[in-house]
Amino acid sequence: MTSTGTTAFNPAASDLVLNAFSKCGLSSAVLTAEHLQRAYIESNLLNIEFSNRGVNLWKSETIQVPPAATLTPGTQTYVMPATTIAVIIVYIETLSGQNTTDRILGPLSTYEYQAMPNKLKQGPPTSFWFDRQITPSLTFWPVPDAGGPYTALCRVLQQIQDTSLAGGATLDLPWRFLAAYEAGLAFKLAMHFAPQRAGQRSRRGLPATGLACEYEVAWEDATTRGAETVNITIMPNIGRYYR
């Protein structure tokens, strides 16, 4: 026997929904418009849960702030795309002759930024504050001066695209997360239509049960493979703070 030689398995969202209903004990022959409406809502709520549970590397991308333009001298705050969930890293790219140099900026918390005594101080930016509003924004400190031009690049996590059950649309997920998505959807649908199969998530030291257990195992498997395998170095600063 020979293997297929293909890596094209990427079922439509609607096929995963039917499989999730099957785990709830419901065949496609008995599904109604209500079942499909609940599946549409729960599948998109599952996208939100995936974004909240971890760092989804497949949704990370580098964007320029502001788009296709350098920082404006004297302007400290710039609107980010509404789909921005988190900012991983911000760096300033400067051009000198034929060479470019990247300089990483340090993140500021809301408290740290508000505690700045002179928020209008101008100079080469060294820090940024990500304001997580419905329309998020990025504020630089010091405020960009005329010593640039400064090109600000951000590695950000973006919102997962909506799930559609029509037209054979597929999920905005990589192959390794398909099983976790289907298991999570089965658990969520079971809470509506087959509570005896749903089970409970792990809590207060108690293990997960039922379809919730399958979901937790599939999620752990996917996220273990969905992380960067690099060393982490933690170095304490043991020097004196006061002189």
In the prediction, which pLDDT does 240 show?
55
State residue 243's pLDDT score.
47
Q: What is the pLDDT of residue 126?
A: 96
* Contacts (Cβ under 8 Å, ≥6 apart) of 145: 73, 74, 122, 123, 124
Q: What is the pLDDT of residue 188?
A: 98
Write the Ramachandran bin of 25: left for phi over 0, alpha for psi from -120 to 50, otherwise beta. left
pLDDT at 169: 97
The pTM (predicted TM-score) of the whole model is 0.86
pLDDT at 55: 85
Residue 148: the pLDDT is: 82
31 token code pair: 């599904």
- Return phi, psi of residue 20, to 5°: -65, -40
Task: Please give the distance of CA 232 from its chain centroid, rounded to a whole number.
Answer: 21
Q: Which residues of the chain carry a pLDDT beneath 50? A: 241-243
The answer to whether the beta carbons of residues 158 and 81 sit under 8 Å apart is yes
What per-residue confidence (pLDDT) applies to 239?
A: 58
Give the count of beta carbons closer than 10 Å to the beta carbon of residue 46.
Answer: 22
For the segment 97-132, what is each residue's pLDDT rounded down to a tens digit? Answer: 778 889 999 999 999 999 999 999 999 999 999 999
153 strand-pairing partners: 64, 91
* Spacing of C-alpha 122 from chain mean position: 32
Q: What is the pLDDT of residue 95?
A: 76
Amino acid at site 163:
T
